[in-house]
Structure 1
């Protein structure tokens, strides 16, 4: 990856809807080489996809919690089943496996406290291998969806 590829990525992080013509102009390439580089960045996984960033409150998801998960079973099968089950819960918008204790950090959204409590009791607490859940409520978002420093 060279400096031009990084410029392309930086521009796309700023504006994922930029036209190919405008992108080429911003990174000072002609259209064909810019398009070729863009397709290569997509093919090699540097660009994982394109999406709209939706405001959670605008769609009624005004409650957010960080949930720490400590596993009581950590064999390969249980961990795999736990991680697969997480991917099937749409309210889990971010999940990270950690070194040390706790084992996982989840970012969870819900409509309100009651909806979160139902999710917590009915889905999260029943996931394979879960030993303990600890949650904390998000008071305010300070940094979100920040572009990578290229």
Structure 2
């Protein structure tokens, strides 16, 4: 069970995932040992799924984003489609939706021609795809933010 102290730890780590256990302990009002134990417990319970760097896509040559709405031909395609999608690095988010369309994919690319090649060579060939509808992201106002803890 996640309590108030755990939520404070999670909130602090969402803001600064590189914070040391000592600094974190001071921020949440614990000594280092209990803070470290809570961190280990949160990690082993799967509450903390990992730590990663927040990279600006444009600064590494990946400044083009598209949202792709996917409708599948049939329900038998769900498993193969999902398995294929999780293996494709250019698809940075994949959400299964209720109703139509079936999925929303966030795709990142260098530019429009690069996205077009990816669309023609990869997306249309995904298992069970009946229909794709893309929209280009003009500007990302709020990226993947932390949870409201």
Shorter-chain TM-score: which interval? over 0.9
Shift of 1:145: 2.0
Aligned equivalent of 1:55: 56
CA distance in 1, matches of 2:85, 2:10: 29
Aligned equivalent of 2:25: 24
CA distance in 2, matches of 1:39, 1:140: 37
User: TM-score, normalised to structure 1's length?
Assistant: 0.97
Aligned equivalent of 1:68: 69
Shift of 1:87: 1.3
Shift of 1:89: 1.2
Structure 2, gaps ≥5 residues long: none
Aligned equivalent of 1:143: 142
Shift of 1:107: 0.3
- SS, match of residue 148 in structure 1: coil
Aligned equivalent of 2:130: 131
User: TM-score, normalised to structure 2's length?
Assistant: 0.97
CA distance in 2, matches of 1:147, 1:90: 22
Q: How many residues align?
A: 148
Question: Where do 1:1-150 residues align within 5 Å?
Answer: 1-75=2-76, 78-150=77-149
**For residues 7-39 of structure 1, what are the alpha-carbon distances to aligned partners after superposition, in whole Å with 9 as ceiling and x for unaligned?**
100010010000110000000001110010000
CA distance in 1, matches of 2:72, 2:19: 44
CA distance in 2, matches of 1:112, 1:11: 35
CA distance in 1, matches of 2:144, 2:89: 18
CA distance in 2, matches of 1:13, 1:40: 17
CA distance in 1, matches of 2:69, 2:106: 9
Please list every run of at least 4 consecutive aligned residues from structure 1 whose deviation after the TM superposition is greater than 6 angstroms.
none
- SS, match of residue 39 in structure 1: helix
Structure 1, gaps ≥5 residues long: none
CA distance in 1, matches of 2:116, 2:75: 25
